[in-house]
Structure 1
Amino acid sequence: MSKSERIVAGVLVVLTCAFSLIALLVRPVPASSPRAQEMRLLTPQQWQGVIDAGVLVGLPRAPIQVAIFSDYQCPACKRFRNVEAAMRKQYADSVAFVYVLLALQQHEQSRWASSFAECALQQGAFETAHDMLFEKQDSLDVIASELAKRLPVSDQNALQVCVQERTQQSSRLAQAIRMADEIGLAGTPTVIVNGTRFVDVPTKAEIDSLVASRNNR
């Protein structure tokens, strides 16, 4: 092989290596598949304990029971209300929600807010209080008295006394904490559908998929 031929051969080898390296660098990286939602089945006793600890909104015999552990100062809980609204629109009377009220220690107004909602329940105004508390989530520390005045109840004095008492001690809030510990709750919102707990906050599509799989059994 002549000198010129050897030079050409060497150049070709270098170019081949260079093109191979470029191909490796620009090769698209396959997108990682989304992590599957983890779900855990509660025992019948645990599921009943969750129901007993919460406030039912909807028909008691609705085929889809959605329990939500939530905190009124939890931003993610407020965002999850969009999923709730979509479920109500799709399933109507076939879905009922069980709100299990937690008062996380890092939220200064959370216990007051949970007590306020619980006392509103006694006068038939839970849903209104529930909506007001999430709507005013960012200012609960400055408008607590205003919310109480705006709540349509027949006995404002009884409401105020109840809130003061329940803020100090509430069997319902204590039961919610016990159930949260028993099922290994890691944060809020925690969502349980007919006894099956989503480990992470579910999308509506994930809830729909679980409901469909149960209906097909």
Structure 2
Amino acid sequence: MFIKGFECGPLDTFAYLVSDTVPAPNGIASACVIDCSYGSTPLLLAEISKQNFLIEKILNTHGHFDHSADNFPLQQATGAPIFIHHLDEWRLIEPYKENFPIPFPITPTKASTYLHDGDLIDVGSLRFEVIYTPGHTLGGVCFYEPRHHVLFAGDTLFKGSVGRWDFIDGNLDQLSHSLSRLMQLPDDVTVYSGHGSPTTIGDERRTNPIIRQLGI
């Protein structure tokens, strides 16, 4: 499994390029991008060309501008469909509605496909399970690949911390429930978050102060 993160934009947000690295008869391997942070498109396209990948899907963990700003240019360049939970699509359509001080232009986009809890998203031989994780936003999701023990957590879970719940449609009770679901995953699952270093479910269960404070 190929995973490469590109830390971009004013909030140092990761865009992840993910592939099964299994080439088709034409020599091209299937891949997806999870979250499109501002300025990530040229870096992603260079790596996509280098690795001979075909981008099948653009997956959004949630709609906050720092995670979705490059949805439009990446879709224009690759033709890949955009996936997001329907409760966060409004952030793609109206990126300035939340009144965040966004220091760059964002072209509005729409979802090609809505994500639902329990959906299975295939990218080549990879199969991601969609885990609905509201709390940071109402339409937040995580992507879990059980065969490779990998979780893309967006802004729900970080190394030593969790996502903020004080933005529009954030909710601590919902976030606590979402984190409880994630803590049921195996200890050896590697967590790739929207910000910061990778971690594991086991490490966060044992040492994350907010997880412990919430009694999860």
**TM-score past 0.5 threshold:** no
Q: Whose strand fraction is larger, Structure 1's or Structure 2's?
A: 2
TM class by shorter chain equals under 0.3
Give the TM-score normalised by the residue count of structure 2: 0.27
Considering only CA atoms, is the larger Rg found in Structure 1 or Structure 2?
Answer: 1
Q: Which protein, 1 or 2, shows the higher relative CO under an 8 Å CA cutoff with sep ≥ 6? A: 1
